[in-house]
A and B are shown apart, each in its own frame.
Chain A
Amino acid sequence: MSDYLIKLQNINLIRQGRHILKDIQLEIRAGEIITLIGPNGAGKSSLLKLALGLIPASSGQRICLPNLRIGYMPQKISLPDTLPLTVKHFLKLAKGFQKNELYNVSQRLKIEHLLSQPMQRLSGGEQQRVLLARALLSKPELLVLDEPVQGLDVSGQSELYHLISDLKDELNCGVLMVSHDLHLVMAATDKVVCLNGHVCCEGHPQLVQQDPSYLELFGKSMPAHLAPYTHHHDHTHGEHCNHDHSGDKS
């Protein structure tokens, strides 16, 4: 096993009296995709920001390889309308990239035709591809993605997940992402971390899906009318996890 890129040890985060993250251990390695899942308010975004070093932990340690190149794709960014900025201007703000890289990456993400467009005029899906392009420009060793497929249709989602998986192989980078759609994530992910303030369970997707605490969060205990995600079907798992997902994606 390769060494870690970022390691979080006994991380606690307390904000305004609320214990948002409890005793988190997390190691991110090169060539590995880790997906964070969990209900709203579980602390997924906070954990991501902690891993990025954007916010300090209340206690615990974040150990990061020196000069680690991180590519970060936020959920979305909101640019002021007063700032005239084309997609190309925006991409060029990425730190330390080679010039021809800009064209390679835009080709790869099919955003060449958008380069001279103002950032403000992009659709949600286009903005996501541009944000991913910006994250890739610095040839990251670690790619951090905050709900990268949010708002895409199902085929768009699976396309983007494939792309991320391919990119991971090409760059041999580690990937840490937040997602709330489990079914598509499962295929490409090496490790799922199920978060609800603390780490409820973690491991290979197949194992996590059968974990009692996972079922507790996403399965039977959640009343259908409260469930924030698409997993509001009753889980009656057999041994081999025969999901009945009819009517899931409606």
Chain B
Amino acid sequence: MSWLIDALLAGWLLSLMSGPLGSFIVWRRMAYFGDTLAHSALLGVTLGFVFDVNLNLAIILCAVFVALILASLQRQHFIPSDTLLGLMAHTTLAAGLVTLSQLDNVRIDLNAYLFGDLLAVNREDLIIMALGSALVLIVLSRMWRGLLAASVSEELAQVEGYPVARLRLMFMVLLAVVIASAMKLVGVLLITAMLIIPAAAARPYSQGPKQMAILATLISMLAVALGLGLSYQFDTPAGPSIVLASALFFLISQSSYRFFVRH
């Protein structure tokens, strides 16, 4: 039973970060960008094993590196953005899988990394996640106005003197931290869902950006609780169950908005 509580706490800590950050992902139309960074996380894990560094750190570094490559590739105009993102996402995932196959001395449960492994969450992870989410929330609240201004219009924000390039980089680092923390819980392939579905569900009932971020966090927390509950009850995989629960909240939010507000 205590693993369930640990998982719940881990999920809620993740929600604290993914709610506000996911809102920015949705506002900035960066869902595929987030997905690409998430795909690179597996490569981060294997490189972490190869060079024997802390896995969380390896994931973060790898994601930031991929983000920087993306930023420099996006400056040329021959390849459209979505092609570039797809290319990077699958190249890094493939590189992760290939590197993994070459590691003889390490046995990794690949499924756990791709789709999450609840039982793997231990106390140490919880402490790291608590520190991580506190850090992310503090940094995010300090850069909130600038990041929002840049999301509305980068040009306007830059003219007004917001450090747009630095904000963009910081946002990518925060995203990398969230991806690293989310990996154990929901896995590489489902991280983006944790970011965008609660935010999308929160949108119809939000009148302001802060409200949407808070609402997304609450929806995400509910989805974690519901998903884990279902997982416990019916022995379904936890990560996918949480994602399905979020999707359920999205459906409820959309349909209830149409039903009550539009009519």
Contact = CB atoms under 8 A, between A and B. Distances in A.
Contacts of A16: 77
A89 B152 CA distance: 11
A77 B151 CA distance: 11
A53 B145 CA distance: 22
Interface stretch (B45-53, B96-104, B206-214, B237-245): B206-214
Contacts of A70: 159-160
Interface residues of B, number: 28
Contacts of B158: 53-54
Interface in A97-114: none
A39 interface: no
Point out which of A70, A79, A82, A90 has the most chain B C-beta atoms below 10 A from its C-beta: A82
Q: DSSP majority for the B interface?
A: helix
A85 B152 contact: yes
Contacts of A83: 27, 151-152, 209
B26 A84 contact: no
A89 to B, nearest CB: 6
Contacts of B27: 80, 82-83
A72 B156 contact: yes
A89 B208 contact: yes
Q: DSSP majority for the A interface?
A: loop
B161 interface: yes
Contacts of B151: 83
Contacts of A74: 153, 155-156
A52 interface: yes
A53 B165 CA distance: 14
Contacts of A89: 208-209
Contacts of B162: 95
Contacts of B156: 72, 74, 77, 134
Interface size for chain A: under 10, 10 to 19, 20 to 34, or 35 or more residues?
Answer: 20 to 34
A86 interface: yes
Given A72-B155, A74-B155, A84 B160 contact: no
Interface in A21-76: 49, 52-54, 70, 72, 74
Contact of A86 (B153, B159, B208): B208
Nearest to A146: B155
Interface in B170-213: 199-200, 203, 206-209, 211-212
A138 B160 contact: yes
A94 interface: yes
Given A54-B155, A138-B160, A82 B26 contact: yes
24 contacts: A49-B155, A54-B155, A54-B158, A54-B159, A70-B159, A70-B160, A74-B155, A77-B153, A80-B28, A80-B29, A82-B26, A82-B27, A82-B199, A83-B27, A83-B152, A83-B209, A84-B203, A86-B208, A89-B208, A89-B209, A93-B145, A93-B157, A95-B149, A134-B156
8 closest Cβ pairs, A-B complex: A72-B159, A95-B160, A93-B149, A83-B27, A84-B206, A77-B153, A82-B26, A52-B159
